Amino acid sequence: MVNKKGANSGGIAAGAMVLVIIVGLFFYGPLILNSLGISVVPSAVGLNHTIAVGVLSVNAPTKVSPLSTFGMTFLVANNLNGKAASNIYFCLDNLGLFKILSSPETSSPNPNGNAITSGRCVTIPSLATGDILSEGFTLSAPPANYYGNIQYSQNIGYYLNFSYVSTASQQLEFVSQSANGNYPPPDIVPSGITAGPIMFSSSSSQPTLYGQDLELGISLNNIGIGIPVGNTQITISLNGDIINITGANSLGFTVKSFPNGTAIFSKSITIGPTGTSIELPISLSSSEYNKLSGSSVPYIQTNVHFSVSYSYEQEGYFPISLYINPYSA
- For residue 241, pLDDT over 90 is answered with yes
User: pLDDT tens digits for 278-310?
Assistant: 889 998 888 888 888 776 778 888 989 988 999
User: pLDDT tens digits for 102-159?
Assistant: 887 666 666 566 767 778 888 889 999 889 988 999 999 999 888 888 888 999 999 8
Which of 210, 211, 318, 232 shows the shortest CA–CA distance to 278?
232
- Cis preceding-peptide flag for 326 (omega within 30 of 0): yes
User: Which pLDDT score is estimated for 26?
Assistant: 32
Judge whether 80 and 142 are in contact, CB under 8 Å: no
User: Which pLDDT score is estimated for 28?
Assistant: 38
Distance CA 39, CA 156 (A): 14
- For residue 265, pLDDT over 90 is answered with yes
Best CATH choice for the domain 45-163+313-322 from the list 1.20.1290.10, 2.60.40.1170, 1.10.10.1590, 3.40.50.20: 2.60.40.1170
User: Which pLDDT score is estimated for 243?
Assistant: 93
- For residue 187, pLDDT over 70 is answered with no
H-helix or E-strand spanning residue 159: strand 152-175
Every domain of the chain and the residues it spans: 45-163+313-322, 165-312
Q: Please give the single-letter amino acid code of residue 140.
A: S
Judge whether 213 and 205 are in contact, CB under 8 Å: no
Q: What is the DSSP letter of 77?
A: E
Q: Assign domain 165-312 to a CATH class.
A: mainly beta
- For residue 328, pLDDT over 70 is answered with no
User: Which pLDDT score is estimated for 30?
Assistant: 34
Predicted confidence band of residue 66 (pLDDT cuts 50, 70, 90): very high
- For residue 5, pLDDT over 90 is answered with no
Which of 290, 305, 293, 180 shows the shortest CA–CA distance to 240?
305
Predicted confidence band of residue 76 (pLDDT cuts 50, 70, 90): very high
As a whole number, mean pLDDT of residues 249-269 equals 95
Q: What is the pTM of this model?
A: 0.75
User: Which pLDDT score is estimated for 188?
Assistant: 55
User: pLDDT tens digits for 311-325?
Assistant: 999 999 999 999 886
User: pLDDT tens digits for 205-221?
Assistant: 777 877 777 888 888 88
Residue 81 burial class via C-beta count within 10 angstroms: exposed 0-12, middle 13-18, buried 19 and up: middle
Distance CA 131, CA 228 (A): 22
The β-bridge partners of 243 are 284
